Structure 1
Amino acid sequence: MTAITREFVGLPSPLVGRAGAGGHPCQGVYHRPAGGPPPRTAFIATHYNVDFSEHYLASHLAERGYGFLGWNTRFRGNEAYFLLDHALAEIGVGVRWLREEAGAERIVLLGNSGGGSLMAAYQSQAAEPSVRPVAGMRPVEAIEDLPAGDLFVALAAHSGRPEVLTAWMDPSVVDENDVLSADPDLDPFDPANGPPFGADFQARYRQAQRERNERITDWVLAQLDALAGTRARARDRLFNVHRTWADLRMIDPAIEPSDRVPNRCYLGDPATANYGVFGIGSVCTLRTWLSMWSLRTSQCAAAPHLARITVPSLVVHATADTGVYESDARAIHGALAAEDKRLEFIKDDHYLPASRPQAADLIDAWVRERG
């Protein structure tokens, strides 16, 4: 087995200073084969919130001769304050380090899980700048000249932050301030509604999910206007979004059948998870909602960015995934502007616990075919 060297990388951000305790805003771990020349091709993987410094494919791809930078912006574990333009600037720090310090000549952007739409946004911005600052924020100069990647891989990738949150939302919530409030006609955990869920219920449910997202956006914009229209000292505020483990596909395996385990989400039983305290978007600032989660205003949807990606692209779908579905993978593949693009399938769950060497072999072969 190839010996692997792991190097901690801590770098400044163009937006914020180093922490008083010493930590750099941008941090990660660079994996590469021990000894020999620097790898000519290197991967970089980043997520909105999850720490990717020790990504599950890092060692596998390093063993196959690549560099792999598991990279974190300052929003790792800090989702409540996420701002897309700031994150893109800090991903650019990692890409530049790979080219200028690690000696990589070719960069592969790996968009895994939620990071799929984030890395798509990065490549899109590098190719054709379009990302705007969220309401009330200044433009970020550092995102106007980002170094682009040479290849793009979407691995078990969600279709975008506003889309995934809306698809997982429980639309039976009547009062956003009451975690137990529920409209029984839309309650996905009321046996009277299913499973199985009929076509009419599914249509009403999906529409109600979109309406809930829009109601929150209306409230957020009103809150920002109220803060701006007074002499209040606050420019933003925190709030909670409850009950976000209620995608009907998690509960009813007849909707988009796949190899997934029925009645499961990433946190186990959907009914239990839905009323728990852990969930995507559960804590937000007003501006983070607009930047990440709002169907109306977020620029974290993958499709518009994928339409600007023309480099060779690979989409890999895990067929037993309990939170990403084949329709998501096909939508990502279809939205890519690349002429050279491929869609592959692996029978495993979201983080590929049983098939990581297989995934690494697949990606390795695809990259080698492209020089």
Structure 2
Amino acid sequence: MITLYVLDVPENEGLVRQAEAMAEVNVRTVGPYFELSTGTELTIDRRATGMRHAVWYSCVAGTGGGAIITQWDKDALRVEPQVSPERLGAGRHLPVAEPPAGTVTSLHRLTTADGASVDGVLRTVPGAETVVCLAHPRQDVTHHPLVSELLARGAAVWTQGTRSVNNDVALVHEQALLDLAAGLSFLRDRGFAHIVTLGHSGGGALYAYYHEQAGLVGDRRVATTPAGRPSGLVDATLPSADGAVFMAPHPGQGILLSRLIDPSIKDEQDPLSVDPELNPFASANGFAPPPESSHYPPEFVDRYRAAQLARVERLDIVARERVAEAAQARRGDSTADRRRAIAPRLMTIYRTDADLRCVDLSLDPNDRPYGSLFGRRPDLTNYGLVGFARQVTPEAWLSTWSALSSNAGFVRAAPGVTAPTLLVELSGDQACFPSDITEMSAALGARDLTITRVAGTHFGGPIAKGEPTGASLAAAEIGGWLAKRFPLA
């Protein structure tokens, strides 16, 4: 389906009249636009419209605003569906179905054990006794594609953010656990008989960490953050969950970043500095022009991985030095000391989209397309603004983004996940690779453990155009698993 939105202005009247005369084109008014939709290529004779140009906004229906080619040639306006594979974040957002009839939606602001505020959305269907919780440490999951799928299968759905939603500059995972606890406490108070957590992508390691800590008595929990501040977990109420679902869980923010971070940067203050011996985008090291798959020699891969961890270690040292400066200032009592104590000492982390596996598809192979989570040209996006951990506090670096210091690694926490567990692998995942699934499967502590694999990419997109989305296939697996263990409406 092709959909073209044309502004309702006098200049476009001729174009709209021509579209209305075409049997294959449906025209309707949508706000300040005329919506022209057709199942085939849309071609309108320009001379018949009497127009020199058109004023339009265009998109492919169902792609959340994906680009399409729109142009006047010599004689006609032609519109063809084509989502650019190089568009930043392509495939990250999927169409979201409407919730089933009878769904009741309510908005809630909760207060955490340490006094922070977090927001959540509760959607229920008549007769629901089981609620599925979705959360992510950084992203808003209110419109996650699984929400309507789960409601249609008879579960209530709770989606919530952390105090750092859509802004991870100061994201401390220990605080995020307190945010999750507020949500589970709220759901217990609402009378749900069964609570099942569902962690997708970074939500996987977050919920694994929560399950682990909730299963421990207070004095056995993590008492301090990696930066040395009290975690608040020891005395907090952490309600346990009755089940756990993990969909495409990456290994944790820190471990994920340790595979994405570019070790060839020579100067942390210069985003363009490059050590040619470690440059992942140099042909001398095995890189091929995209979209051809690169082929890195094993020796280079080993050196590269070691250098990635070495860069993380250097950044850890910087973070701990800045944490120590703040701690020393807090021990003073002057106004100047107080200013030094609260100064954020932000760290800027350049070039964090350089996982060799994103451009060498022979490494840890699966069905993934060429490219990273941020687009089909990591050789470009690696140098851009968008990426993981671009700017963080030292505390957030140590708690969230450091593979060497963070407690929020999936495999580290997985033995503490003892509730019935479903692990869903996406066959074309660009962040949770087959080796990760193998390691996670072995680490999970649940006796009732189900592992399944569906076709799809990391964010739940389809492997190929026209195929079912990974999210819909995962929803079917999740729904069947839930139905065997928990009451559904």
TM-score where L is the length of structure 1: 0.92
**CA apart distance, 1:117:** 0.4
> What is the identity, as a one-letter code, of the residue corresponding to 1:179?
P
**Aligned mate of 1:361, from 440, 456, 476:** 476
Residue of structure 1 aligned with 2:123, choices 31, 35, 38: 31
Match of 1:234 among 340, 343, 350: 340
How far the C-alpha of 1:262 sits from its partner, in A, is 1.8
- Report the alpha carbon displacement of residue 125 of structure 1 after superposing the two structures with TM: 0.7
Give runs of ≥4 in structure 1 deviating > 6 Å. none
Please give the alpha-carbon distance, in whole angstroms, between the structure 2 residues aligned to 1:229 and 1:202. 41
Partner residue of 1:320?
428
Q: AA paired with 1:362?
A: E
Does 2:298 match 1:182? no
C-alpha contact (below 8 Å) 1:14/1:142 kept by paired residues: no
CA distance in 1, matches of 2:200, 2:105: 21
Are the equivalent residues in 1 in contact too, given 2:455–2:473 (CA < 8 A)? no
Distance (whole Å) between structure 2 residues aligned to residue 72 and residue 49 of structure 1? 8
Gaps of 5+ in 2: 1-98, 287-293, 462-468
In the TM superposition, what whole-angstrom CA distance separates every residue of 1:316-363 from its partner, at most 9, and x where no partner exists? Answer: 011112222111122211110111112111111112131333221211
> Structure 1: how far apart are the matches of 2:159 and 2:173?
19
Find the counterpart in structure 2 of residue 277 from structure 1. 385
Q: In the alignment, which of 248, 251, 257 is matched to residue 156 of structure 1?
A: 248
Is residue 175–residue 231 contact of structure 2 (8 Å, CA) maintained in 1?
A: no
- 1:77 is aligned, of 158, 166, 182, to 166
Higher RCO (Cα < 8 Å, 6 or more apart): 1
Q: Which residue of 2 aligns with 1:255?
A: 363
Q: Name the residue aligned to 1:5.
A: 104
| Matching of residues 57-68 of structure 1 within 5 Å | 57-68=146-157
Alignment of structure 1 residues 164-243 onto 2, 5 Å: 164-194=256-286, 195-229=294-328, 232=337, 233-235=339-341, 236-243=344-351
Distance 1:210 1:359 in 2: 33
1:48 corresponds in structure 2 to: 137
TM-superposition CA deviations, 1:44-75 (whole Å, max 9, x none): 11111000122220111011100110111111
Task: Report the Cα distance in structure 2 between the residues aligned to 1:274 and 1:16, rounded to whole angstroms.
Answer: 37
- The structure that is strand-richer by fraction is 2
Q: Measure the CA separation in 1 of the matches of 2:328 and 2:347.
A: 20
Given that 1:88 and 1:143 are in contact with CA atoms closer than 8 Å, whether structure 2 keeps it comes out as no
Pick from 403, 407, 414 the counterpart of residue 306 of structure 1: 414
The amino acid across from 2:176 in the alignment is A
CA contact (8 A) 2:365 2:434 kept: no
SS of residue matched to 2:122? strand
- Counterpart among 455, 459, 475 of residue 347 in structure 1: 455
Matched position secondary structure for 2:424? strand
> Aligned letter for 1:298?
S
TM-score by length of 2: 0.71
**What root-mean-square deviation, in Å, do the aligned CA atoms of Structure 1 and Structure 2 show?**
1.7
Distance change (3 Å), C-alpha of 1:145 and 1:10: closer
Q: In the alignment, residue 210 of structure 1 is paired with which amino acid?
A: L
CA-to-aligned-CA distance 1:133-185 (integer Å, 9 cap, x gap): 22342341576430011111110110111100001111101111110111000
**Which blocks of at least 5 consecutive residues in structure 1 are unaligned?**
18-24
Alignment-mate amino acid for residue 221 of structure 2? S
Larger mean CA deviation between 6-15 and 144-153 belongs to 6-15
2:7 aligned residue: none
In the alignment of these two chains, the number of paired residues is: 360
CA 1:88–1:263 in structure 2 vs 1: closer, same or farther (change >3 Å)? closer
CA contact (8 A) 2:260 2:354 kept: yes
